[in-house]
């Protein structure tokens, strides 16, 4: 994931802490590392430890002392946020994640490791993130996507993957992590964010697709016998393989693969369940594995057709102009 020799010991200890004690996923731990590596590189430039014209990506961080970390002021932090905004073109959500990484990092150093006394991130504001409606496929487009994969009997694996994504709202990491023994009867156990397990109940479409795929799933020469979904090398399929497969069928279905992505299928599943299945918002929260209800509430948006219908149902809608 990353080379421990590339970083100072205190950063390595912090990453171990969030991995083993806080139970963060490998992807989250990797994001913390990338965020904090960028921060430490910036500190070396800010303090004239390296030439300002040096290639930023080649700046080593293994020699950044804890004394330099402790000297950081709130003003330095805002200068860093300005740098990642203007210098690196980070979006508001990316900058907000960097603020979260810094807060966790400094909290650990000051209260857990007791390596520093002051925590400048206590007063660090997070960028305001504008709320936008999630993009999703409507019911007709979702059926088109499934039909694109179902058109060829050799695509039973792909059809099964798309069926699970569109029916269960799985994250890609959850999908590729499924083992055969995670499926028992009509239930599927997945490991979500923070290594939290949850149970998903499989409908008839999912059960049928899984059965059809298992009938043709390779049995010999497997590199990962426990994995449900295998790639052409008979090993567990990876995130990139899923992404390329979804793009392929979006294109075959005549849908915009630049507008929609694998994660948009999770949005699609959530929206279809809420809009057409009359699923309670708290039940949807459990299905999607959201820790906070506010995260789930983005799927309760009202679509344009509902807005149009609301306006047309106004009692004054048929009144003719009297001018």
10-residue averages of pLDDT along the chain (323 residues): 79 92 82 95 94 91 95 94 91 90 96 94 84 76 91 81 91 92 92 82 92 93 94 93 93 88 85 77 78 69 57 66 50
Give 217's contacts (C-beta < 8 A, 6+ positions apart). 157, 230
Q: What are phi and psi of 198, to 5 degrees?
A: -145, 155
Read off the DSSP letter of residue 125.
Answer: P
Query: Which pLDDT does position 6 carry in this prediction?
Result: 84
- CATH class, 139-306 region: mainly alpha
Which residues are known catalytic residues?
171, 193, 263, 266, 290, 299
Phi, psi (degrees; rounded to nearest 5) at 167: -95, -30
CATH pick for 4-123 out of 1.20.120.790, 3.40.50.720, 3.20.20.70, 1.10.150.130: 1.10.150.130
CATH 1.10.443.10 residue ranges of the chain are 139-306
Please report the pLDDT score of residue 317 as a whole number: 65
* DSSP-derived 3-state class of residue 123: helix
Plot region of 200 (φ>0 → left; ψ -120 to 50 → alpha; else → beta):
beta
Q: How many CB atoms lie within 10 A of CB 2?
A: 14
Domain with CATH 1.10.150.130 in the chain: 4-123
- Residue-wise pLDDT for 84-125, tens only, equals 998 899 988 889 999 999 999 999 999 999 999 999 999 998
């Amino acid at each position: 994931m990353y080379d421990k020799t590339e970083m100072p010991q205190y950063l390595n200890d912090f990453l171990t802490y969030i991995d083993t004690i806080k139970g963060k996923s490998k992807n989250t731990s990797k994001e913390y590392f990338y965020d904090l590596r960028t921060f430490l590189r910036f500190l070396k430039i800010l303090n004239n430890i390296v030439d300002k014209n040096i290639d930023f990506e080649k700046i080593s961080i293994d020699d950044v002392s804890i004394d330099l970390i402790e000297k950081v002021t709130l003003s330095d932090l805002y200068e860093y946020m300005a740098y990642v905004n203007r210098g690196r073109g980070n979006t508001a959500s990316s900058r907000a994640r960097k603020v979260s990484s810094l807060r966790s990092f400094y909290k650990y150093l000051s209260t857990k490791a007791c390596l520093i006394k002051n925590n400048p991130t206590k007063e660090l504001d997070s960028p305001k993130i504008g709320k936008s409606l999630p993009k999703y496929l409507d019911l007709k487009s979702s059926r088109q996507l499934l039909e694109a994969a179902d058109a060829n009997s050799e695509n039973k694996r792909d059809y099964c993957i798309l069926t699970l994504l569109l029916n269960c709202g799985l994250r890609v990491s959850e999908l590729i992590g499924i083992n055969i023994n995670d499926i028992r009867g009509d239930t599927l156990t997945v490991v979500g964010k923070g290594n939290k397990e949850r149970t998903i109940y499989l409908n008839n479409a999912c059960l049928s697709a899984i059965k059809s795929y298992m009938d043709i799933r390779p049995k010999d020469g497997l590199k990962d016998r426990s994995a449900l979904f295998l790639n052409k090398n008979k090993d567990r399929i990876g995130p990139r393989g899923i992404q390329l497969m979804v793009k392929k069928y979006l294109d075959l279905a005549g849908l915009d693969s630049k507008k929609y992505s694998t994660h948009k299928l999770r949005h699609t599943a959530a929206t279809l369940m809420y809009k057409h299945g009359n699923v309670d918002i708290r039940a949807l929260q459990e299905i999607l594995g959201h820790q906070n209800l506010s995260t789930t509430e983005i799927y309760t948006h009202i679509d344009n057709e509902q807005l149009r219908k609301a306006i047309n149902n106004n009692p004054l809608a048929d009144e003719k102009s009297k001018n």
